[in-house]
Structure 1
Amino acid sequence: MTTVSNTTLADKNQAYWNGEAKSVFKDKWNDTATQAKLMDYACGNGIVTMSLHHLFSKCIGIDLSDGMLDKYRATAATLGLPESRMMAVQGNILAPMVQTTSPPLDDEELDCFDLVEICMALHHLDDIQLATQRLASRLHPGGVFLIIDWATRGSLDINEHASPDAVHPEHHAAHTISHDSFTGEQIVSLYDGCGDVRFVLADRLSDVPDARSGKMQLFWARATKL
């Protein structure tokens, strides 16, 4: 005699996932982060590392400021990541002579990155050509170089940065800024010799109280080291 079960697929799913809920998200689904390495240059509090750390086995945040490095370490603590996964070091890519990071890292640790990124900091560097060359040199062939910063908007009547006064001179950080914004042509030229170059503008403006109109536009640019 055949017995007809009244148990539905929904019932089976409910029973199964009630039992699996505690452990299912602890399992690693892939090993893509096994050997991947990220450099977060001028890292600040590590906003990019926060978003991408799960893709990398090691994230190294580099900054000039001890205060910012403390913020990066605090982010690591919040994420529950040990120093072996997310570490902060003091360094200057534009130093006229090779300097040892603090704490010191060997050449191997500071080379062959899968991703090097600089987010909202390129406008603080005086020689962007040299900076991008030196950052790109830290990638392995096939590695990706990502830049996120402010874009110069097309026409002068709405351009936030038509003059050096676009960021108000009385602003407490004005003296630390060397470039108010960047055109797509400027950024693409920095990637000379790289492949798969892309430059994408944000689809909306960001509120920036210290800009003349109070709004600016972000860009994302990336290229692959050949």
Structure 2
Amino acid sequence: MASNTEKNQSHWNEAASTYNTKFSKTIQQIISEIQKRKDWIGVDWAEDISDTEDANTSTPKKTVRLLDYACGTGLVSRALAPYVTQCVGIDLTEGMVNEYNTSARNQGIPESEMQAFQGNLISPDDPSPSAFSGPEFFNFDIAVVGLGFHHFDNPALAAKRLAERLKKGGVLMIVDFLPHEHFQFVIRFAMFFARVFGHNAAKTVTHMGFSEEEVKKMFEEAGVGGDFGYLQVGKGKITFEEGQEKVERSVFFARGSKL
């Protein structure tokens, strides 16, 4: 594994058990923003069945499958679970995967509908990991990375690898930070994460944000440039806080469909 991948795996494995508690307000804020924009995302969701359909018929909901990559404790899956029939999470760290799966089981959600797996789809040395070669890890309707792109060594490679997992017309979506022009703010944000999660947290960040032009280029090169969209979310900022510590960052959503 690349050195930064190892740092990510080690650090977030240790931080997994307290992540939901430390960032509960932030998580809920982002979940709300995702759900408010489900129509903008551009997926034909499972819930969108004709209102005139007889509720007593045995017609099943259409299948809509989500790949939640770098899933962490399951922020994206929690946001989109009401609109899909299956959530598949993948994360580098055993701790995050355990938190994701424990939460799903505690809610009575079967593994066939929501389950996370430990692994890496974006290693430059392993383009086709055998653990994820089965058909159950392909042909997704939507793949999402929630606040993970800024941790990747090679975001463009990540976009390509995730695009390979989508069906034609499937949507790739990322939630991440806008670039910040003020260096002192970047330092303050890094110091906040260091105080909350320890000094190794800042070392897992490899990018300080992505402009619309950068994301559009990555998506086009990955073959998911169709119907491209990029927008800033929240009332200008998403708030990260822990106790008396608080910092705000501008967050964007980007989405594009597989051509």
- Shorter-chain TM-score: which interval? 0.7 to 0.9
- Pairing of 1:108-119 with structure 2 (within 5 A): 108-119=135-146
Q: Deviations over 1:169-195 (max 9, x none)?
A: 981201111112111211111111421
Unaligned segments of structure 1, at least 5 residues: 1-26
Give the distance between the partners of 1:31 and 1:148, measured in 2 at CA.
34
Q: Out of 197, 203, 209, which is 1:181 matched to?
A: 209
5 Å matches for 1:203-218? 203-208=235-240, 214-218=247-251
Deviations 1:120-163 (A, max 9, x none): 1111100001011100111011101110011114xx348844x7
Which residue number in structure 1 is paired with residue 31 of structure 2? none
Q: Separation in 2 of the partners of 1:68 and 1:35?
A: 26
Q: Which has the higher contact order (CA 8 A, sep 6+)?
A: 2
Deviation at 1:167, TM superposition (A): 1.4
Q: Please name the residue that 2:232 is paired with.
A: 201
Of 126, 141, 160, the residue aligned with 2:168 is 141
1:15-41 CA distances to partner (integer Å, 9 max, x unpaired)? xxxxxxxxxxxx689968432111000
- CA separation in 2, counterparts of 1:108 and 1:114? 13
C-alpha contact 1:114 1:143 (8 A) present in aligned 2: yes
TM alignment of 1:101-112, pairs within 5 A: 101=131, 105-112=132-139
Equivalent-residue separation in structure 2 for 1:32 and 1:221 (angstroms): 31
Give the C-alpha shift of residue 93 in structure 1.
1.4
- Structure 1 pair 168/142, CA: closer, same or farther in 2 (3 Å)? same
- Counterpart CA distance in 2 for 1:218 and 1:48 is 15
> In the alignment, which of 65, 89, 97 is matched to residue 61 of structure 1?
89
Name the larger-Rg structure: 1
CA contact (8 A) 1:111 1:139 kept: yes
Q: Which residue of 2 is the match for residue 220 of structure 1?
A: 253
Percent identity for Structure 1 against Structure 2: 31
Root mean square deviation, CA, Å: 2.8
Q: Does 1:125 align with 2:152?
A: yes
Equivalence for 2:100: 72
Shift of 1:77: 1.7
Q: Distance in 1 between matches of 2:239 and 2:215?
A: 23
1:168 maps to what in 2?
191
Match of 1:87 in 2: 115
Q: Which has the higher helix share?
A: 2
Q: Which runs of 5+ in 2 are unaligned?
A: 1-54
Q: Letter of the aligned partner of 1:215 in structure 2?
A: E
